[in-house]
Structure 1
Amino acid sequence: MRGGLFRAGLALAVSASPAAAQFDVYDNPSVLSLPTTLRATVRVPVASPPRGAADTLVALYPQLAACWRPPAHLGAAAITARFALRRDGSLQGTPRITFARVSGERRNALVTETLASLARCTPARLTAGLGGAVAGRPIALRFVYPGPNQGDRP
């Protein structure tokens, strides 16, 4: 009999725990979600590279694309690189190309230039606040090159 009361009392104590009773996934959905990918499109080459440390995402994206140069004989093209940054603005891991719109023989040159430009432009100059906000979050940056005629569209 005593064992039965003890078990019943223990079960009552566990279920009455305020922390267990108040926690709900819907109250804090970010607890169980993956980081949201930061997405942006930048027209390259960047006309006027930003100066100083980036304090917003709007200032960060052109800073990351400022080192991009068109490979020889490239027409209109678009390419998307997926990567992550550390707090100090350096690359975390190896960037990955997830999309490229360009003719077959020019694809390798475009991929090589895009990866090289990210290496040249990093570590990005970030404020402490922006560095903390973007650290480890995936970034999908789309580089759009309109072509040498500036009227072509990829």
Structure 2
Amino acid sequence: MKGVARLAIAGMMSAGVTHPLAAAPLNTMDEVGAAIQACWTPPADAGNSSVTLSFSFKRDGTLLGPPRPTAAKVAGDDKARKSFIDAASAAVKNCTPLTLSPTLAQGIAGNVFTLQFVSPKQ
């Protein structure tokens, strides 16, 4: 797993959905993406907005540094942009550490992953 891996999960999860973090270990990056998306609560009145974050994990499911925005298209002013990006970053931070299966943990460490967060259609 060299280079940048991409999570193929769109950020169109409903606000208020939670994911039981103490559930069975995650086996795939799709499951990791779904777990993080379940923690996502976009700001109210986000309009048609999206942000892509890049981040890496350690083998124990914790983050290796903070998530970084790599692309953002946010409706509104600078305050709205900051609020949207902060909410996406908070979803990643608040949802970790994740419980990873031993197989996934072996291949995940240090790789850069991206995940797009998209506001729900209004």
TM-score range, shorter chain: 0.7 to 0.9
Identity among equivalent positions (%) equals 31
Q: Is 2:59 aligned against 1:87?
A: yes
Instruction: Return the match for 2:5 from 34, 38, 41.
Output: 38
- Partner letter of residue 11 of structure 2? R
With normalisation by structure 2, the TM-score equals 0.83
Change (3 A) 1:38 1:62: same
- Partner letter of residue 43 of structure 1? G
- Partner letter of residue 110 of structure 1? F
The residue aligned with 1:111 is: 85
Instruction: Return the match for 1:66 from 16, 19, 38.
Output: 38
Cα separation, 1, equivalents of 2:56 and 2:29:
13
Cα separation, 2, equivalents of 1:144 and 1:52:
27
Tell me the secondary structure at the aligned position of residue 125 of structure 1.
coil
Larger of the two Rg values belongs to structure? 1
CA RMSD across the alignment: 2.0
Contact 2:26 2:100 in 1 (8 A): yes
Cα separation, 2, equivalents of 1:104 and 1:75:
8
5+ long unaligned stretches in structure 1: 1-29, 150-154
Residue correspondence of structure 1 range 19-38 to structure 2 within 5 A: 35-38=2-5
Deviations 1:79-108 (A, max 9, x none): 100010000110001211011111242211
Deviations 1:19-75 (A, max 9, x none): xxxxxxxxxxx9xxxx32111232332567474211112211111221110112211
5+ long unaligned stretches in structure 2: none
With normalisation by structure 1, the TM-score equals 0.67
User: How many corresponding residue pairs?
Assistant: 115
The residue aligned with 1:152 is: none
Cα separation, 1, equivalents of 2:76 and 2:46:
11
Contact 1:37 1:138 in 2 (8 A): yes
Instruction: Return the match for 1:101 from 62, 65, 73.
Output: 73
More helix by share: 1
Tell me the secondary structure at the aligned position of residue 132 of structure 1.
helix
